Amino acid sequence: MFNREKNEEHGLDQGEDGVDRRGFLQCMAWAGTGAFFLMQGGVLKSYSLSKLPMLERPSAGQLSFVQISDSHMGFNKAANPDVVGTLKIAVDKINALGPAPEFMLHTGDITHLSKPEEFDTVDQILKGAQAKDVFFVPGEHDVLDDDGKQYLERYGKGAKGGGWYSFDKKGVHFIGLVNVLNLKAGGLGTLGPEQLAWLRDDVSHLKGSTPIVVFAHIPLWSVYPQWGWGTEDSAQALSLLKKFGSVTVLNGHIHQTMQKVEGSVTFHTAASTAFPQPAPGAADSPGPLKVPPDQLKSILGITDVNFVRGKHALGIVDSTLA
């Protein structure tokens, strides 16, 4: 359902193998999984699943990783009484990817109520993933009651301020941003001047040809401000990244996959591994969306990301849990 909306939004027409949009969507329905987009030289193209073997996951030297999000450990209401189970299925899906992704990004709302046992359970479950390294950013559910003190103790080693940091993997520069602290009444997500100043410094020495991946919990573009689905000062952050030829922004928070391309910036949000939320404006409020139990796993999911060096190309594959 969400993928169909997304495809229509982007007006995908004929792929390179002559499969038209309807044929592409039929392929998707048959496969029962998510979307495959390839961005090359700043242009987003769609590929039918029959092309997938040709575009198989890169060999050593290339870079592949997985994004998961919004595990909400501790949530136990009707929309999903078993968030432990669905997170474990997500880990199984990650382990079924071959070759193994090098690491995982978790784009926040690791826990539901910031409880120590909730953090512990997620750590325990993620230990079972073949990608041993996990890089986190907090969601608003991870910084309750203590302004993120516990989150920082667990995941903030080497991070600055509220937990922002960067690292490099195979020539790609990753930047973890925190936009869930010091939220103001009536406002959206916020990065703040201290973090923006750090970001400016962090990328100042990098060449424009360095691929950049930014990850943060709340979307860094205006998905639906009425529901708080946006970040007040994201435009400032993105202007600091103007010189780069390939910028990928990975977010969570909205519990559905959504993608947007603006010049050399590709924005992507991941599904939750816990529960879905309604499409923008499709309900009174962005609360947990109850679906028939047999449909739940087909609306939760993970995201597989692959970099193909030298072509500014990256593949983002969303797959559902069933």
Partner 1 sequence: MKRILPIGLVVVAALNIVWTVAAQSKPADIKIDNFTFGPQELKVAAGATVTWANRDDIPHTVVSTDKAFKSKVLDTDEQYSFTFTAPGTYTYFCSIHPKMTGKVVVVQ
Give phi and psi for 81, each to the nearest 5. Answer: -75, -5
Site for partner 1 (CB under 8 A): which residue of 83, 175, 188, 213? 188
**Helix (H), strand (E) at residue 319:** strand 313-320
Q: How far is the CB of 52 from partner 1 (least distance, A)?
A: 38
Using omega within 30 degrees of 0 as the cis cutoff, is the peptide bond preceding 99 cis? yes
Return phi, psi of residue 251, to 5°: -130, 175
The answer to the question of residue 273 lying near partner 1 (CB under 8 A) is: no
Handedness of CA 195, 268, 11, 231 (dihedral sign): negative
Tokens 């193998």 correspond to 17
Q: Which residues pair with 164 in a beta bridge?
A: 160
| Binding residues among 96-125 for partner 1 as defined by CB under 8 A | 112-114
Choosing from 287, 293, 295, 311, the residue that interacts with partner 1 (CB under 8 A) is 287
Q: How far apart are CA 304 and CA 101, in angstroms?
A: 8
Residue 216 beta carbon to partner 1: minimum distance, rounded to whole angstroms: 16
CB of 302 to partner 1, least distance (A): 23
Asked whether position 145 contacts partner 1 by CB under 8 A, the answer is yes
d(CA 73, CA 109) in angstroms, rounded, equals 8
Positions in 9-68 near partner 1 (CB under 8 A): none
Candidates 89-97, 165-173, 222-230, 313-321; binding stretch for partner 1 (CB under 8 A):
222-230
163 binds partner 1 (CB under 8 A): no
**One of 286, 306, 313, 319 touching partner 1 (CB under 8 A):** 286
Q: Decide if residue 78 touches partner 1 (CB under 8 A).
A: yes
Give the helix/strand (H/E) hosting 75: none
Q: Is 285 in the site for partner 1 (CB under 8 A)?
A: yes
Q: Is there binding between residue 284 and partner 1 (CB under 8 A)?
A: yes
Contact pick of 140, 273, 317, 321 for partner 1 (by CB under 8 A): 140
Residue 174: beta bridge partners? 167, 213
Residues in contact with 10: Cβ distance below 8 Å, sequence separation at least 6, in sequence order: 44, 46, 259, 261
Select 65 or 227, whichever has its Cβ closest to partner 1. Answer: 227
CA angle 44, 238, 41 (to 5 degrees): 25
Q: Are 57 and 99 in contact (CB under 8 A)?
A: yes
Residue 299 CB, nearest approach to partner 1 (Å): 17
Tell me, by CB under 8 A, how many residues bind partner 1: 24
Which positions touch partner 1 (CB under 8 A)? 77-79, 112-114, 140-141, 144-145, 183-188, 226-228, 284-288
